[in-house]
């Protein structure tokens, strides 16, 4: 294993850095949080700029218009875009970070050609229709049903917490195709066009005030059989492929952003008055922040090791994503708690107080809680790590 960057990696970095320096100043300000058509246009415009410059889908195959480069170059891309303050994936999250990679691993040649280039060019936005009111942690309990009618599936049921549903063109959808089979065996993974008849979307407001996710009611939605990914009733296995991307690689960009956030919080501590000096004078705070920084460094080393291994292997990350997702989201939540303690009374509202940019940190703290829930809660990741990686006995069924 070699964790150093090669000369060609460093050339890639230098070219990208130069491109970012030119491209970023041309971006207009980002639209407000609930102006979704404008947000979609802004996020997809950035994606289009990346595509035109050859920086979309760095590690996606060239047959589908990706760059066909190494996962290490993808990490460099994430490092450099964060360093330059470039936009994050936004509404393109699902398509780029887990639906697209699932199609690369499991889609038919037609599905790959139809969707992957359009995702990379910013022409197609995706959402994820996995969770239901009675099937979140116990996802295999889902009851949205799909009944075969000739060359279509007819889908009826309800999905919840569907991020970006109202701006998406397609949805990665899990449905029950065999109600009599054991619960993990009767599920199918479908591509649902969001303009199909019978889809009703109702926005839900998050704790930060955003309407980024919705509940979806599906009433006899007709989905062509050719939109099935994997075999009928083999959707649980395909969903595990999706999760291995969603819990593993999809969080790497977040990790890099959090490493920058630690620097920012340290800077904040050096400005916030406390007693006769500054908050930074407290050795306890410096120790806690240092520990978080060290844990993030360790996760970065783990990521680079995983990427090095993936470059030699199948390209599908595997169960290790649960270790990463669990450790990352927990350390991120601790950083949020520490920041709130640092802000003290300024953390009581979302308005900036005393010339300190407290509002954005309160918002980030709220967001940090959602990371321990989205893509499977920390408790569920612990069960996976315990039972499926460490081989511990299964938890008692209730």
Ligand X SMILES: Cc1cc2nc3c(=O)[nH]c(=O)nc-3n(C[C@H](O)[C@H](O)[C@H](O)COP(=O)(O)OP(=O)(O)OC[C@H]3O[C@@H](n4cnc5c(N)ncnc54)[C@H](O)[C@@H]3O)c2cc1C
Would you please indicate which residues are annotated as catalytic (active-site) residues?
A: 246
Q: Report the residue number, 353 or 373, with the smaller CB distance to ligand X.
A: 373
Among 254, 376, 384, 385, binds ligand X (CB under 6 A): 376
Question: Interface mask (CB under 6 A) for ligand X, residues 75-114, using x and -?
Answer: ----------------------------------------
CB 115 within 8 A of CB 191: yes
Pairwise CA distance, residues 239 & 30, whole Å: 33
- 26 C-beta neighbours (distance < 10 Å), count: 7
Among 6, 8, 35, 137, binds ligand X (CB under 6 A): 137
- Which two tokens mark 298? 């360790």
161 touching ligand X, by CB under 6 A:
yes
Q: Report the residue number, 270 or 379, with the smaller CB distance to ligand X.
A: 379
358 touching ligand X, by CB under 6 A:
no
For residue 217, what is the enclosing H or E element?
A: strand 213-224
308 touching ligand X, by CB under 6 A:
no
Pairwise CA distance, residues 191 & 99, whole Å: 9
- Distance in Å, CB of 174 to ligand X, minimum: 8
Question: Interface mask (CB under 6 A) for ligand X, residues 111-130, using x and -?
Answer: ----------------xxxx
Q: Report the residue number, 16 or 380, with the smaller CB distance to ligand X.
A: 380
- Distance in Å, CB of 131 to ligand X, minimum: 4
Half-sphere exposure of 330 toward its Cβ, with a 13 Å CA cutoff?
13
Return phi, psi of residue 186, to 5°: -110, 25
Among 213, 236, 280, 365, binds ligand X (CB under 6 A): 213
Determine the interface stretch with ligand X among 33-41, 114-122, 250-258, 372-380 (rule: CB under 6 A): 372-380
Beta bridge partners of 147: 154
380 touching ligand X, by CB under 6 A:
yes
Of residues 89, 80, 119, 91, the one with CA closest to residue 103:
119
Q: Report the residue number, 60 or 130, with the smaller CB distance to ligand X.
A: 130
- Distance in Å, CB of 126 to ligand X, minimum: 10
385 touching ligand X, by CB under 6 A:
no
- Which two tokens mark 237? 């296995």
Question: What does 103-149 look like in DSSP terms, one character per residue?
Answer: HHHH--HHHHHHHHHHHHTT---EEEE--BTTBSTTGGG---EEEEE
- Distance in Å, CB of 105 to ligand X, minimum: 19
242 touching ligand X, by CB under 6 A:
no
- Which two tokens mark 53? 């410059």
Cα 294 off chain centre by: 23
Site for ligand X in 7-46 (CB under 6 A): none
Determine the interface stretch with ligand X among 146-154, 161-169, 189-197, 337-345 (rule: CB under 6 A): 161-169
For residue 190, what is the enclosing H or E element?
A: strand 187-193
- Pairing verdict, β 152-163 and 213-224: antiparallel
The owner of tokens 């009851």 is 143
- Distance in Å, CB of 290 to ligand X, minimum: 29
Binding residues for ligand X, how many (CB under 6 A)? 20
CB 269 within 8 A of CB 242: no
Q: Which residues bind ligand X (CB under 6 A)?
A: 127-131, 136-137, 161-163, 213, 370, 373-377, 379-380, 383
């Amino acid at each position: 294993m070699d964790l150093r960057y090669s000369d060609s990696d460093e050339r890639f970095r230098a070219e990208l850095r130069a491109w970012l320096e030119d491209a970023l100043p041309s971006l207009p300000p980002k639209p407000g949080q609930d102006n979704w058509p404008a947000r979609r246009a802004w996020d997809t415009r950035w994606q289009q700029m990346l595509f035109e410059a050859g920086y979309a889908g760095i590690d996606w195959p060239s047959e589908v218009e990706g760059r066909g480069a190494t996962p290490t170059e993808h990490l460099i891309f994430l490092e450099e875009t964060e360093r330059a303050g470039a936009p994050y994936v936004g509404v393109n999250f699902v398509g780029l970070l887990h639906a697209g990679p699932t199609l690369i691993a499991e889609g038919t040649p037609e599905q790959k050609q139809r969707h992957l280039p359009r995702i990379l060019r910013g022409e197609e936005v995706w959402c994820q229709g996995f969770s239901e009111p009675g099937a979140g942690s116990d996802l295999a309990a889902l009851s949205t049903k799909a009944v075969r009618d000739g060359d279509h599936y007819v889908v009826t049921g309800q999905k919840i917490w569907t991020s970006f549903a109202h701006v998406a063109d397609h949805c990665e959808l899990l449905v029950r195709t065999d109600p009599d089979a054991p619960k993990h065996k009767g599920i199918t993974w479908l591509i649902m066009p969001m303009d199909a008849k019978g889809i009703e979307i109702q926005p839900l407001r998050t704790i930060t005030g955003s309407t980024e996710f919705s509940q979806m009611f599906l009433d006899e939605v007709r989905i062509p059989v050719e939109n099935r990914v994997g075999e009928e009733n083999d959707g649980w296995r395909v969903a595990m492929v999706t999760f291995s991307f969603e819990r593993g690689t999809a969080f790497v960009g977040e990790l890099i952003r959090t490493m920058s956030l630690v620097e920012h919080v340290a800077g904040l501590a050096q400005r916030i008055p406390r007693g006769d000096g500054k908050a930074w004078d407290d050795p306890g705070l410096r120790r806690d922040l240092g520990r978080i920084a060290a844990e993030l460094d360790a996760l970065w080393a783990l990521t680079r090791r995983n990427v090095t291994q993936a470059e030699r292997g199948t390209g599908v990350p595997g169960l290790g994503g649960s270790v990463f997702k669990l450790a990352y989201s927990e350390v991120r939540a601790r950083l949020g708690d520490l920041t709130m303690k640092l802000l003290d009374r300024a953390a009581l509202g979302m308005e900036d107080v005393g010339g300190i940019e407290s509002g954005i940190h309160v918002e980030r703290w709220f967001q940090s809680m959602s990371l321990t829930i989205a893509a499977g809660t920390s408790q569920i990741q612990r069960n996976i790590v315990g039972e499926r990686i460490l081989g511990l006995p299964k938890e008692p069924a209730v």
